[in-house]
Structure 1
């Protein structure tokens, strides 16, 4: 019988959570955006290592209106988001059907929403690139698009794909490079400035559902495809460095832990959260979820979080 790990901390909301994101910026790393049916909820979390006990504060709700019955599929905080300035500055993009909504707020009286249109189908992921100068998005319409967000906002680059775009991630150290992952298993490293593909790798399995960079070693990327976690060393890109079979199903999302010296990978397979050290097949943590609504690491502390219906759950992970 498998050992199931109970969460250490819980944020309870009044309705089902569709999607969420924890900010990774130095001056807002405890800020969380939670997408509910008709609005985004901004929450500030306090973890025991910093504040002595677990707690959270509801900061603001941002209305998304009734334009589309499709729920939010992805969220991304802009790099200039900060709670350490006066006034506060929070900018977040929400992918909503085939639209991108950019919310800007000072958590007080100033609130704006900018709409970006151009995708012909469901947007699966969004990321700020080039130090926040551009917003990037990937979609079921077989495109990766880059947008300016000043003024009216404009689709300035479109990068054609051979299948649906599932993940887009900014490079941990080089803001001009992005990882673009396709559903049929191809992962591109793309230079936004030169508009060129630097390198591509291909998964031995598909469908690919999610991909990520390793923050502790920028030469490593991982994907969740066909029930396997497949990791590449970009110094030797032609053959995967590691293939870990985790389930016969294809899974939902995979993420490297940001602060660990060893590579630790979290994933959601079906409705089960699993955390592994990269070279181990024995999970550090395993937990059951009621629904899928995303997963995220805390940027500074060793916590993995995931949605389960109306709850946002946190587990402390013992790692090096």
Structure 2
């Protein structure tokens, strides 16, 4: 395994606005390249990107804007629907945006001018995260500063509500079991809910607070990771409800945690902007130090590619992409 020193992004793409959120499509949708959604101050852009690491005919990165959705308000989170497809006779783009007016907006497009938007209302404060069920494109969940996690169905609205003890910061669906939902709270509790019984069936506790972000590993569903305070934290279920490993990462507090989608041992964290820059760190559980450290001018958002060892962070009128060697 090669250890990378602090370095600049492998690739960057110019945008027209400050990027608040960025998300690779985590689902197979048959597109040439991989779909990426990113949000500025009042719109969401859907693009396709392909890298020279996956196609030798590409020089660096091939980036193409496919559609722009104008909302008029800031977007705080984006979730792709597993029903998105690009290889059909009738292409379908679908994603949910959590917007600053406390609503959820589900957008659907055929990339040929036909668009639809459905609003879902119920939250009474800022929405911090949203996710689609990977096995059921009609169901999605959201968490908010209003101390609730809500489960929704397309065309039907709110189907369930869980009362939390502090603001909900992250929500994730079990990749194989549609009835299992993970909810992470700001005070440090991570609970797993059974949607059939609508009861919590397991909980984890952070030794640090505030917990700002958590993620459930798709490669190893017994692993949960988070950032709280200055640290990254890892739980190995079904061991103790307390962390099995943790380490200081960001002196200016940690902000986002994301497991990679290509290795169960690799994850990335970001800190808060410090002196106009945000630090990105990529970690390997079997290595004592970060294997890559990057710096982003006032960065926001963090997402891993579905199959490649590349992550993206949004910045001021730019998208930054880092490749790492494992």
Which of the numbers 203, 217, 220 marks the counterpart of 2:206?
203
- Asked which structure has the greater RCO (Cα within 8 Å, sep 6+), the reply is 2
Distance in 1, matches of 2:159 and 2:41, equals 31
Which of the numbers 121, 137, 145 marks the counterpart of 1:140?
145
Counterpart check, 1:297 vs 2:310: no
2:218 aligned residue: 215
Counterpart check, 1:125 vs 2:97: no
8 Å CA contact 2:150, 2:161 repeated in 1: yes
Counterpart check, 1:166 vs 2:173: no
8 Å CA contact 1:173, 1:218 repeated in 2: no
Q: How much is the aligned-residue C-alpha RMSD, in angstroms? A: 1.5
8 Å CA contact 1:80, 1:91 repeated in 2: yes
TM-score calculated relative to the size of structure 1: 0.93
2:88 aligned residue: 85
8 Å CA contact 1:127, 1:135 repeated in 2: yes
1:14 aligned residue: 16
8 Å CA contact 2:206, 2:242 repeated in 1: no
Distance in 2, matches of 1:104 and 1:137, equals 19
Counterpart check, 1:104 vs 2:108: yes
1:51 aligned residue: 55
2:7 aligned residue: 5
Counterpart check, 1:243 vs 2:246: yes
Counterpart check, 1:149 vs 2:151: no
Deviation, structure 1 residue 172: 2.3
Deviation, structure 1 residue 241: 1.2
8 Å CA contact 1:208, 1:250 repeated in 2: no
8 Å CA contact 1:3, 1:286 repeated in 2: yes
* Residues 101-156 of structure 1: per-residue CA shift (max 9 Å, x gap): 11000111210011111000000000012522311000000000011112xx3111
Deviation, structure 1 residue 3: 4.1
8 Å CA contact 2:34, 2:49 repeated in 1: yes
Distance in 1, matches of 2:138 and 2:17, equals 34
Aligned residues: 311
Counterpart check, 1:234 vs 2:237: yes
Deviation, structure 1 residue 237: 3.0
Deviation, structure 1 residue 42: 1.0
2:275 aligned residue: none
Distance in 1, matches of 2:313 and 2:64, equals 18
More strand by share: 2
